[in-house]
A and B are shown apart, each in its own frame.
Chain A
Amino acid sequence: MSSAIAETAGAGHARGGELAGALLGALNLAVAFGITWALWLLVLHPNGVLKLYTPMYGFSLVAVLVAVLVAMARVGEGWPLRASALAPPVRGVVATAIALALTAFIVHGFFWGFLGRFGVTYFSPRAIIAAGGVGAEFFNARENASTAIVYFAAAFLWLSLSVSIGFGTWPWQSTPPNVRAFSRLSVVTLLAVVAYAVLFHPHVTQLFYPAQIMAGAPPWWAALAQTGSAYFNLGWVMTAVAVLVVTEILWGGWPWRLLGGDSGPLRGLAALVGSLAGGVVLFVASLKAMTAFWGEPFQGGQYTDAPYFRYLHAAEISGFVVLSAFALDTYFGAARGAAGRAIRTAVALGGAAALHLFYYSSAATRLLGKVPGIAQPEDTSLVWTLLFLAIVLVQRDLFGGWPLRRGGTAA
């Protein structure tokens, strides 16, 4: 495994013995939770300071931030900061500043200022308003542009992890880090553009009236999914991401490593196809569980009756699994041996269930400023989950685990 994330994780780095390490890990997790909450209050809380949880605008910022963190640490392997002589905390501060600046630039500069103005109108609120038509004012325009950006970030995230986890450094294992970073970023971006165009763009072109049928095909999945919403695709993409993360973070790359060590074309293909297959299985299992709990959904149903909500909720559950896996590995070390991995997997799934319970609890209602209940169209747990994940990734990858762990050589 060649990524920066892996080098900063793993048991044995915690200060002191196992018990002390576990206590420190728990303390660190609590601090990360607190930072997440403070940031939520400052940036996203509906009655906080900046109130950016509109919801899609805040969602787009957080989704792009996570994509940037993954691109810096995994796709780019921490280049160029990784080779610097800066101490981990200083390097972490610099890398975090770069990640935040990149996020702001990608959303406001690249999508809003450049791509939307000169290429694909719907990526820019101002370009949408300038184009005119029904409903073309700032609120709708920003939500629609943000929806497109969220979808692109999802495609990028999925392919970043598929390429970096699956193919490893192949075929650039012998090239300098800078060449490898740009090459992998280029490939991931190219694949993400294609995935976005096929999986999500057809939904975004339907967000306008009349639908932009010359720019995008009608949602091809509508007949089988009983909805034209691309939450259908977001659902299985996120369950595939969860499979990739679990196999990499909790299982040490098994079973993909059986086909070529840490990198290689066979391993890459196996990871891509295997994670998709596993993702579909998890996707269907999640939907079946929801059907057992809420009854059958149906076309045109809303809230928990809506097929599109069930797909989104499958993605939300996957988000809890991903966060739980990263938090477990970051704060409590990696598992050793098959039994250890099985236990860690069970603990991670338990953690995901706990996150689910928390998000829909009265405590979260008070802490996050939500309205009690589930399936509100203006609320998705992915925003809070990704914000929490971003905090974990910043500490893990940009600060090299500091102050919890010694050393750390990420971005």
Chain B
Amino acid sequence: MKRRDFLKAMSATGVAAATGSMFAADRVDAADKLDLGMVRSVKVDVISETSWFDNDKFKANMTEGGGASTSQYTIAWDPENAGGYSALITVTTLQGEEKRILLDSGWSNAWMDYVFEKKGIPRMLQRGEIDFMVLSHWHLDHLWGIESTLKHNPKIKIIAPKTYYPEDLALLRDKGRFTAKDKAGRDVLLAKNDVPHRGELVLTGPEGQDNTGLYKIMPGVAVKMFDVPILLRVRGENVLYFNVQDKGTVTVTGCCHPGILSLFSFAKQNFAGYQPYGAYGGLHLSLFETWDPKFDDVIAGVKAFKLKKVAANHCTGWLWAEKAAASGVPIVKGTDTYKTYKRQSLVARASNAYLTNGDSVVF
């Protein structure tokens, strides 16, 4: 069906000409565009993208606890179902030096200890070989396993969204311990941290450093905080941007709640020499193994933005990754390494449309 003239004036505009942004204040003139600098390459190792193993059990806990808008600290999550999300990012600078960033610290300490060990994270933390940790957002599966990181380096610098709730900061800094009642009235331990964070805590806001909207953390690397409301009473997400030499802009996300195309739209408007290239992480789409026409919209949009490499996992949803790959989106396929781990997600599929536990991608 062809669009009529009056519909052209509507909000629905051509994707190729997309110039939207999350916030009006983010728009800048061409002359003010930001120069991120450059890195030679970015490697992402998947420490764990499996935040929970049984999707149906997770949804049942959430439903019994009051639904998607309920505080995550009041739901009796089944501890046996907890995994966690974390990734190790290795940046090679133009000078050839390697810098490491830990993205998130997962949920279950038992699981995180296990997956950290597989990737040698404890030793890197103890030796100070990880320069800092970025907390993408304050969701349980990204934060509640913080003890697994801090017990190896309680002074690690952490960059986190300033939009925390009191429980979040108590867990991070004050030996927080949280329980919730299950249906039988029993206390279920949700999260604890016996090793308070004692290092520098950088709290990020949408305004960024010097009102640039960004936090430049090293040449070619920046954090952008998108202040969006998120399910389970969480707010705001940090996103990592990289400008990779001869390739272009790469995003690395925890859950990408703001939307992958909004991230690239922001980059298009604000970054000097913007060239879309790749994305890694959860994309927060069909995570509950259901579908919606808006997920088809994202597939069409990603193709229009001409990304070259999309390494998706976690809350992206296997359905979306498979359908996107079938539609021509350059999805980076994973391997069967995840099958060597002691537990796997029940929704994992033979298609390897996810870059999953034990895999890595280089941008």
Residues of A whose CB lies within 8 Å of any CB of B are: 46-47, 51-55, 57, 134-135, 137-140, 142-144, 203, 206-209, 211, 219-229, 284, 287-288, 290-291, 293-308, 310-311, 369-379
State which of A294, A298, A308 has its C-beta within 8 Å of the C-beta of B261: A298
Question: Which 4 interchain pairs have the tightest Cβ spacing?
Answer: A300-B301, A302-B259, A228-B293, A51-B66
CB <8 Å contact, A295 and B20: yes
Cβ-defined contact, B297 with A308, below 8 A: yes
By size class, the interface of chain B is: 35 or more
- Is there an interface contact between B293 and A284, defined as CB atoms closer than 8 Å? no
Q: Nearest-CB distance from A348 to chain B (Å)?
A: 25
Q: Is the CB of B67 within 8 A of A303?
A: no
A228 touches B290 (CB 8 A): no
Q: B286-312: contact bitstring with A at CB < 8 Å (1 yes, 0 no)?
A: 101111111011111110110000000
CA distance A290 to B302 in the complex (A): 23
Q: How far is the CA of A374 from the CA of B235 in the complex (A)?
A: 11
Q: How far is the CA of A134 from the CA of B346 in the complex (A)?
A: 12
- CA of A179 to CA of B22, assembled, Å: 54
Task: Indicate which residue in B60, B69, B286 contacts A379 across the interface (CB closer than 8 Å).
Answer: B69
B229 and A308 form a contact (CB under 8 A): no
Please tell me which one of the listed residues A206, A226, A297 contacts residue B291 in the complex, with CB atoms under 8 A apart. Answer: A206
Q: Which of B5-13, B245-253, B331-339 contacts A (4 or more CB under 8 A)?
A: B5-13
Enumerate 21 A-B pairs (CB-CB under 8 Å) in ascending A order. A134-B319, A143-B290, A206-B292, A207-B292, A219-B293, A227-B293, A287-B9, A291-B11, A299-B297, A299-B304, A301-B259, A303-B228, A303-B259, A305-B261, A369-B69, A369-B233, A371-B69, A371-B230, A371-B233, A377-B231, A378-B231
Cα A398 to Cα B301 in complex, Å, equals 49
Given contacts A209-B319, A376-B230, contact A222 B293 (CB under 8 A): yes
B265 at the interface (CB under 8 A from A): yes
Neighbour of A294 across the interface among B18, B24, B289, B293, CB < 8 A: B24
Question: When A229-B294, A284-B9, A378-B231 are in contact, do A302 and B262 touch as well, CB less than 8 Å?
Answer: yes
Chain A residues with CB below 8 A from B67, complex form:
46, 51-55, 57, 378
The answer on a CB contact under 8 Å between A306 and B69 is: no
Q: How far is the CA of A284 from the CA of B7 in the complex (A)?
A: 8
In the complex, B129 has a CB within 8 A of chain A = no
Once the chains are docked, how many angstroms separate the CA of A302 from the CA of B288?
17
The answer to whether the Cβ of B175 comes within 8 Å of any Cβ in the partner chain is: no
A284 to B229, Cβ gap below 8 A?
no
B15 in the interface (beta carbon within 8 A): yes
Is the C-beta of B84 less than 8 angstroms from some C-beta in chain A? no
A231 to chain B, nearest CB (A): 9
Roughly how many angstroms separate A304 CA and B24 CA in the complex, as a whole number?
A: 10
Query: For the complex, what is the distance from the CA of A11 to the CA of B21, rounded to whole Å?
Result: 47
CB distance from B52 to the nearest CB of A (A): 13
Chain B residue with Cβ nearest A283: B10
**Apart from A46-B71, A46-B233, A308-B293, what are 5 other A-B pairs with CB-CB below 8 Å?**
A54-B67, A301-B262, A304-B23, A372-B235, A373-B229
Question: For the complex, is B227 an interface residue (Cβ under 8 Å from A)?
Answer: yes
Give the chain A neighbours of B351 by CB distance below 8 A: none
**B300: nearest residue on chain A (CB-CB)?**
A299
